[in-house]
Amino acid sequence: MKEKRDFLRFFDSEDYEKEVPESDEQKKIPPPPFERPYPEDASLIDLVSPEDFKIGKTPFLKLINSRKSRRKYTEESLTLEELSFLLWCTQGLRRALKSGRGVLRTVPSSGAKSPFETYLVINRVEGLEPGLYRYISFSHKLLFIKPIEDAEKTIGELSYNQNFVGKAPVIFYWTAVPYRTEWRYTVLSHKFIAIDLGLICQNLYMACEAINLGTVAIGYYEQNKVDKLFELDAKDEFVVLLAPVGKYPQEKKLTEFFENPKAKAKLEDLKKLVGLYAKDDSKLEFIIKEDQLYAKMGDYMEPFVPYNEAEFAGEYIKGARFILSSKGVVEKVIILTSGDDLVEFLPQKKE
Ligand X SMILES: Cc1cc2nc3c(=O)[nH]c(=O)nc-3n(C[C@H](O)[C@H](O)[C@H](O)COP(=O)(O)O)c2cc1C
| Site of interaction with ligand X (CB under 6 A) | 68-69, 71, 162, 216-220
Instruction: Work out how close the CB of 71 gets to ligand X at its nearest, in angstroms, rounded to a whole number.
Output: 6
By C-beta, is 71 or 105 nearer to ligand X? Answer: 71
Residue 55 beta carbon to ligand X: minimum distance, rounded to whole angstroms: 22
Give the nearer residue to ligand X in terms of CB position, either 218 or 333.
218
Which is nearer to ligand X, 183 or 205 (by Cβ)? 205
Q: How near is the Cβ of 217 to ligand X at its closest, in Å?
A: 4
User: Least distance to ligand X from the beta carbon of 338, Å?
Assistant: 9
Phi first, then psi: give them for residue 198, nearest 5 degrees: -60, -35
Give the alpha-carbon dihedral of 71, 77, 82, 86, to 10 degrees.
40
Query: Residue 44 or residue 217: which is nearer to ligand X going by CB?
Result: 217
In the complex, the smallest distance separating the C-beta of residue 242 from ligand X, rounded to whole angstroms, is 9
The burial class, CB within 10 Å (0-12 / 13-18 / 19+), for 324 is: middle
3-state helix, strand, coil in the chain (%, to 5): 30, 30, 45
Distance CA 241, CA 223 (A): 10
Residue from 340, 50, 341, 85 nearest 212 by CA: 85
C-alpha triplet 205, 81, 35: angle, nearest 5°: 70
Q: State the Cα–Cα distance between residues 67 and 219, nearest whole angstrom.
A: 18
Torsion 211-216-222-224 (CA) sign: positive
Nearer Cβ to ligand X (138/220)? 220
CA angle 70, 203, 50 (to 5 degrees): 115
Nearer to ligand X, 49 or 69 (CB): 69
275-279 and 238-247: which strand pairing?
unpaired
Q: Provide φ and ψ at 273, rounded to 5°.
A: -90, -10
161 or 260: whose CB is closer to ligand X? 161
Nearer to ligand X among residue 32 and residue 339 (C-beta): 339
Nearest approach in angstroms of CB 216 to ligand X is: 5
Q: How far is the CB of 316 from ligand X (least distance, A)?
A: 9
Helices (H) and strands (E) counted in the chain, each on its own, are: 10, 18
Please report how close the Cβ of residue 342 comes to ligand X at its closest, in angstroms. Answer: 20
Q: How far apart are CA 135 and CA 143, in angstroms?
A: 6
Kindly state the smallest distance separating residue 236's Cβ from ligand X, in Å: 22
Residues 6 or more apart whose Cβ sits within 8 Å of residue 16: none
Alpha-carbon distance 180 to 116, whole Å?
9
The CB-nearest residue to ligand X is 219
Angstrom distance (rounded) from CA 134 to CA 208 = 19
N- to C-terminal Cα separation, the chain:
35
| Nearest residue (CB) to ligand X, 48 versus 193 | 193
Q: How far is the CB of 247 from ligand X (least distance, A)?
A: 17
Which residue number, 145 or 194, has a Cβ lying nearer to ligand X?
194
